[in-house]
Structure 1
Amino acid sequence: MKDELTLVIDIGKSHAKLLMFNDAGEVVERHGRDNRSVLSALGYPALDVQGLEDWMSHTLSASANTVRCSRVMTSTHGAALVGLDETGLAWAPLDYEFDALAQHPVWAREFEDAADAFAQTLSPDLPAGLNAASQLFYVQRAHPQAWQRTRHLLPYPQYWAWRLCGERASEVSSLGCHTHLWLPQAGEFSQLASRQGWTALFAPVRSAWEVLGTVRPQVSQTWGLPPHCVVHIGVHDSNACLARYLESLNRDATTSRALTVVSSGTWTVLMAPGAPTQGLQAERDMLANVDVLGRATPTARFMGGREFECLLAGADRDAGSLGDLQFLISGAIMALPSFAAHGGPFRGREGSIRCGSKAFADAGSAGLAAGQRAALAALYCAQTTAWLVERLWSGSALPRTVLVEGPLARNALYLGALQGLMPAARCLVSLDPVEGTARGAWMLSRWGKSTAADVMPVEALSVAGLGEYHAAWQRALD
């Protein structure tokens, strides 16, 4: 029907959003809230699923548009699994920033020994709980009673689908998100998952766009959704962003050019469909995600949102100017990684601000003005992006295309610097006012109805010495 809406639940690590789309893809209503972990009854930091559900229920029940929502699609961050008993949660889902196994060195070694080789999973060993299998390994050993109650395991998007409709499913984009649970090239669970007895706890794998069921009567009553509202399987958020281009970009864009989609947020995730998996370097946090069609997708990432905020040191993210950028380049003032504790190609390195022969721990102590700090943050993220694009497509003679989504798509200095750092590439920016994860989720709810992507070429910034500056930055990494 013409007045029907699609509800997209978009749960990122730092922020959660509710968006209602009409059939033309326009957002008619949106809500958001910050997303933080809570202390679980078992004593570890957990995802605030109850707080999120209370917020969603309260927000939607107060909206006159909720009754128009005929379908629901959920996208969430990765590295999150939920255990269910006969009635609900068997244990609170772990926050992936909690380093559970670090408190138990023997278990950590056992997990490392039990995991499949990188050549099979294309999932590197990551810190804290970013390999979601490590969360299961921890719960089994630290909380055996809670584990004994566990009857089902669900990826995070499918947990929310279950809460809405009462049906269970698994989906490959979440199972294949550096979990150590999935073999991307074989399309099946890992030996680790089988040996630990986890495989049997996962529901059958289904496609993200499929309908799982209709909302439960209690949800219809308390949330205000109509009884006929259908619930889709759901998707990993970065893969939702990629999915819109898998369907909407011209076919030859992914075959005659080396396409990299940059999905930005708390994490800046670079996905390169069609790139070779042989060159992936586990130690550089390079991996293969699995797209919604089940294909291995070479991926690289860094915690760009966190690093950007760190380098801002309180400045407005849009405070930088072309003059500030030129000041940094002319003065050889550079940010050397890393400024986030988790993941990325330079994990284990302590970030610093290099000003000639002097080094400072952060941009604030380096004495940089607000505009200069904002320019430095944008330039650093552009340099890291360019560095990763070249490694994802190392050895390929195909011309590069880089398409930027999310908050970085609204940062002119980042975009112009990125194009300047990659003069032979074609850099594109999404003009969609809706973030790529939410837009991709909406498109998955109507999979097969092609919608053209609204993108625009990026113009390189005119700054002297950018190439030499970047070469010096790369030498400093060695």
Structure 2
Amino acid sequence: MRYASLMYLHQGCEEEYKRRHDDLWPELADHLKEHGIHNYYIHLDSNKDRDRSESRLYATFDADDLDVEALANHPVMQRWWEYMADIMETKTLSFEPIANALEEVFQFNILQPDKPRVVAVLDIGKTNIKICLMDGQTGALLHIEKRTNAVIDAPPYPHIDEGSIWRWIKDTLADLAQRYFISSIAITTHGATIACMKGDQLALPILDYEYDGVSEFKDEYDAARPDFSESFSPRLPQGLNLGAQLFWQQKRFADEFATVDSLLLYPQFWGYKLSGNKAAEVTSLGCHTDLWNPTSCQFSTFCEQRKWAERFPEVIETGAKLGTILPDLAKETGLPASCVIFNGIHDSNASLVPYIGQPMEKLTVVSSGTWTVIATINGKLDSLQEDKDMLANVDALGRATPTIRFMGGREWEQLRSDSKASLSDISFILEHGILAIPAFAKGGGPFAHCEGRIIDRGIALTPAQQSALADVYVALMTDYCLDLMDSSDTVIVEGAFSNNVNFLFLLACMRSQNEIYASRDVTGTSGGAALLSNKSLKLKGRLSLALCDAQIKPLLNLYRQQWRDLVGEL
């Protein structure tokens, strides 16, 4: 609903009125937002030719279900009115400004007022692709569309099915645009993925980072790549080092690579498809690529020597405006021509966004999906060990952030069954000493070089017990990784594992030195991406404390020590 009113300002107080509103109290701004007030405008009519003793102020704002009495009776509102009373016409007793309501008599070209105004987040993970719609004022998740992701296993090498993804994105946005006013699109994707562009087309298919063929020139690459002390990128298998992908493509497909005029990181590739504007961005550049120096915030010497740095577009701020949606795409999908596209972010770093502005010295976040990525905001880099798959990620502010990860989601999927585990199933696993020894997925983690095995003690597990073993395993791995990290007293679990009660319970029992919290914001990485693109969103970061049953701790501690002894031999 639109509210409009006329107020009266004492003559000669125009500059003072503007000065006070330029310095609007933050607590008053929060009060207005909490009551759903948005699109608030005040216009001044200071026409000196009129014979009157005051200037007029015309105010308009939008709000749904506004509680006018609660708004007015709050102490901060009362104090503001009293503060303004010396320069405005006010009511005698309350200091409330005299405000005459204005009647609406005409509308023209209103932008779809019947549709909820939303931010759409394009969230492309290794396993799933989602479009999440977040309320444009509150940040609440309103709707999710989802599909599985797949790789085309065909010549010239396994590659991203970008054509199918693009068709799904356009079709889904077109469907959603019929029901929602999509004012902007934020983007978050998995890392270790890059598009080699020739103009507006792909010069080469977008390589799947799990392709083993990238190791064809392993020895040459190892001799050329930067030292860990410069890039803080560990040497990873397959194509998980983005530099290894480019090195292999340049040697194996020299003619095609010679035509490449721009290199687009994966979030920026989709930003380009939507806006037509090319950019680069630090969170993807700093994601174990060998291409970036995270401490100096510039391209690595290796990237410069290979002449790749000059093919990246300008590095612009994470979450900065790329532009508006391409006109033809707006017509095709029904999106408003004013829809803004924002510079995207690497997904694990998106999980950090709600916390990077928190006033605390250190905070450890466990971002869980296909990968379980553990990062400590404001942590120290000197604890990083290259051979444990530890690295310095780069957060949305460009800061080097100590990180460790393993393929927790994928390993959990491999170990579990379709039956949910109860605490009695967890107890069964602990009591009988049934152990899962890493690793059960290729690609990374402290035990990436090891072949996973299960010590079953000759016991055939029920489906629910299989799931219990999966829960115990990922909790043990997370606990192990946290011990290697410069972690904080507070640990927040985001993503898939934040809803796994067994995982949270076990982790809390194993780590009495930490407070383990589960995020209750179901949007995870999507919420962080949305917050970057719309900093006025009220993402409250709801957390719940994971609790431990002291009775299970002795058994769990014994089990944990057995597991630690075995993995220590790997």
- Once the two structures are superposed, the pairs formed by residues 90-129 of structure 1 within 5 Å of their partners are 90-102=203-215, 104=216, 107-129=217-239
- Once the two structures are superposed, the pairs formed by residues 43-82 of structure 1 within 5 Å of their partners are 43-65=156-178, 68-82=181-195
1:305 aligns with 2:409: yes
1:215 aligns with 2:329: no
Distance (Å, rounded) in 1 between the aligned partners of 2:228 and 2:129: 32
Question: Partner residue of 1:452?
Answer: 540
Question: Partner residue of 1:7?
Answer: 120
- Once the two structures are superposed, the pairs formed by residues 14-25 of structure 1 within 5 Å of their partners are 14-22=127-135, 23-25=137-139
Question: Partner residue of 2:143?
Answer: 29
Q: Tell me the secondary structure at the aligned position of residue 381 of structure 2.
A: coil
- Once the two structures are superposed, the pairs formed by residues 20-419 of structure 1 within 5 Å of their partners are 20-22=133-135, 23-39=137-153, 42-65=155-178, 68-102=181-215, 104=216, 107-247=217-357, 249=358, 251-252=359-360, 255=361, 258-312=362-416, 314-316=417-419, 319-356=420-457, 367-393=460-486, 400-419=489-508
Question: Partner residue of 1:361?
Answer: none
Distance (Å, rounded) in 2 between the aligned partners of 1:135 and 1:420: 41
1:441 aligns with 2:529: yes
Which consecutive aligned stretches of 4+ in structure 1 deviate over 6 angstroms post-superposition? Answer: none
1:291-316 deviation per Cα after TM superposition (whole angstroms, max 9, x unaligned): 0000000000010111101111x333
Question: Partner residue of 1:362?
Answer: none
Q: Compute the displacement of 1:331 (Å).
A: 1.1
Distance (Å, rounded) in 2 between the aligned partners of 1:449 and 1:15: 25
Q: Tell me the secondary structure at the aligned position of residue 78 of structure 1.
A: coil
Distance (Å, rounded) in 2 between the aligned partners of 1:16 and 1:165: 20
Q: Which runs of 5+ in 1 are unaligned?
A: 359-365
Question: Partner residue of 1:471?
Answer: 561
Q: Compute the displacement of 1:67 (Å).
A: 6.0
Q: Compute the displacement of 1:451 (Å).
A: 3.5
Distance (Å, rounded) in 1 between the aligned partners of 2:134 and 2:277: 24
Answer yes or no: is the 8 Å Cα contact 1:66–1:225 preserved in 2.
no
TM-score (norm. length: structure 1): 0.91
Question: Partner residue of 1:429?
Answer: 518
1:75-130 deviation per Cα after TM superposition (whole angstroms, max 9, x unaligned): 0000001111123211111000012333x2xx221111110000110000000000
Aligned residue identity for 1:475: D
Q: Tell me the secondary structure at the aligned position of residue 383 of structure 2.
A: coil
Please identify the structure whose Cα radius of gyration is greater: 2
Aligned residue identity for 1:17: K
Aligned residue identity for 1:292: A
Aligned residue identity for 2:542: D
Give the 3 Å change call, closer, same or farther, for CA 10–383 of structure 1 in structure 2: same
TM-score (norm. length: structure 2): 0.77
Question: Partner residue of 2:80?
Answer: none
Answer yes or no: is the 8 Å Cα contact 2:508–2:548 preserved in 1.
yes
RCO greater where, 1 or 2, for CA within 8 Å and sep 6 or more? Answer: 1
Aligned-pair identity in percent equals 36
Aligned residue identity for 2:520: L
Q: Compute the displacement of 1:66 (Å).
A: 6.4
Give the 3 Å change call, closer, same or farther, for CA 450–6 of structure 1 in structure 2: closer
Q: Compute the displacement of 1:144 (Å).
A: 1.5
Q: Which runs of 5+ in 2 are unaligned?
A: 1-38, 40-61, 63-115
Distance (Å, rounded) in 2 between the aligned partners of 1:145 and 1:223: 36
